[in-house]
């Protein structure tokens, strides 16, 4: 592969931002990657900062994922309550929408039961943080 700007010169690497081939004249080493001289240096520095921040945040992300069973459980309880409310609303109605509203309530409640079961399953095993 040759340099993007100097087509006759062999590239020594790729720009981390635009992925174009760079020769020694066009390449700037910004630490953890090469950048196009006077073109992509700021973008590559930003990419490096984002990657460093992501690596530092990894333990916090893993801790947040450990709370996932609570999210499933809470969502399920909410859906069961909302489904029950819809089913009761449909029962108290007259007219052609009665069955539809009741069906929505039952489906919402069943979905809530599924979320609760999944949340309880995660709580008991794989979802727990070390």
Higher pLDDT, 53 or 77: 77
Mean pLDDT of the chain: 87
Lowest mean pLDDT among 16-20, 26-30, 50-54, 120-124: 120-124
Confidence class for position 108, pLDDT limits 50, 70, 90? very high
pLDDT the model gives residue 55:
84
CA 45, 49, 54, 55 torsion-angle sign: positive
Are 1 and 19 in contact by the 8 Å Cβ rule? The answer is no
pLDDT score of 113 more than 60: yes
Alpha carbon 79 to its chain centroid, in Å, reads: 23
Confidence class for position 67, pLDDT limits 50, 70, 90? low
pLDDT score of 42 more than 60: yes
pLDDT score of 130 more than 50: no
């Amino acid at each position: 592969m040759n340099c993007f700007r100097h087509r006759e010169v062999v590239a020594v690497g790729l720009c981390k931002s635009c992925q174009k081939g760079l020769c020694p004249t066009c390449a700037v080493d910004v630490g953890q990657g090469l950048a196009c001289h006077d073109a992509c240096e700021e973008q590559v520095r930003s990419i490096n900062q984002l990657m460093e921040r992501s690596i530092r945040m990894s333990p916090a992300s893993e801790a947040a994922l450990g709370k996932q069973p609570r999210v499933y459980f809470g969502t399920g309880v909410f859906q069961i309550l909302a489904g029950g409310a819809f089913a009761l609303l449909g029962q108290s109605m007259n007219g052609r929408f009665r069955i539809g509203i009741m069906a929505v309530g039952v489906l919402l409640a069943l979905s809530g039961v599924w979320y609760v079961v999944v949340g309880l399953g995660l709580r008991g095993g794989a979802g727990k943080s070390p």
